[in-house]
A and B are shown apart, each in its own frame.
Chain A
Amino acid sequence: GGIITQTPKFLIGQEGQKLTLKCQQNFNHDTMYWYRQDSGKGLRLIYYSITENDLQKGDLSEGYDASREKKSSFSLTVTSAQKNEMAVFLCASSMGQNQAPLFGEGTRLSVL
């Protein structure tokens, strides 16, 4: 079996800071995703990538950048952290866009 590893597990940032979240998968999946989950809410798509060096914006892409330099990794950058922002960022991957994405454990972000 494979695994999706997100680092760091917890991230505390300062207002205005640029923050980078990383995701690695060893499933050899083509498609990778970044979702954001706010407390008590559903998941909202930030970015996704169907192959290496491909980037597609989701509904929530404003304020974020993404990078897919290798098939196995997908990183997300918060370009300017917002004060009091708290959310969980979830990375997922799937073999093709029609397969069920599998999720990592998430990165919990708090901005002071």
Chain B
Amino acid sequence: AQKVTQTQTSISVVEKTTVTMDCVYETRDSSYFLFWYKQTASGEIVFLIRQDSYKKENATVGHYSLNFQKPKSSIGLIITATQIEDSAVYFCAMRESYYAQGLTFGLGTRVSVFP
């Protein structure tokens, strides 16, 4: 069964710096999809970025990028030039291509950006 682990419960950073958060996953499938979401203080859940397991290049969208290390089953999220509004809980999720029922989520990492 697929499993997603986010070990960092919270991270604090100063505005305009870079924050990196970790995510490791377990899967029995050779093909899978990895996603990062952000949950704001209002509870809204927003899709940020995805990485397909067969792609070697790290995905980048705006100031979000991924550090995909397939041999380590790791998919880190990097946010550069952080802004106050990046303060949120960030969830890593995965879906196996063949076996999965739906996305399995990690427990989330709370990021606080301070001026």
Interface residues of A (CB under 8 A from B): 33, 35, 41-45, 48, 56-59, 88, 90, 97-98, 100-103, 105-106
How many residue pairs between the two chains, A and B, have CB atoms under 8 Å in the bound complex? 50
A105 touching B44, Cβ below 8 Å: yes
Interface residues of B (CB under 8 A from A): 4, 33, 35, 37, 43-47, 50, 91, 93, 95, 97, 100-108
- A88's contact among B4, B43, B93, by CB below 8 Å, is which? B43
Q: Which residues of A contact B93 (CB under 8 A)?
A: 43
Beyond A42-B107, A56-B101, A98-B33, 16 extra complex contacts between A and B, CB < 8 Å: A35-B105, A41-B107, A42-B91, A42-B105, A43-B91, A45-B102, A45-B103, A48-B101, A97-B102, A98-B95, A100-B35, A103-B37, A103-B44, A103-B45, A105-B43, A105-B44
Query: Closest chain B residue to A100 by CB distance?
Result: B47
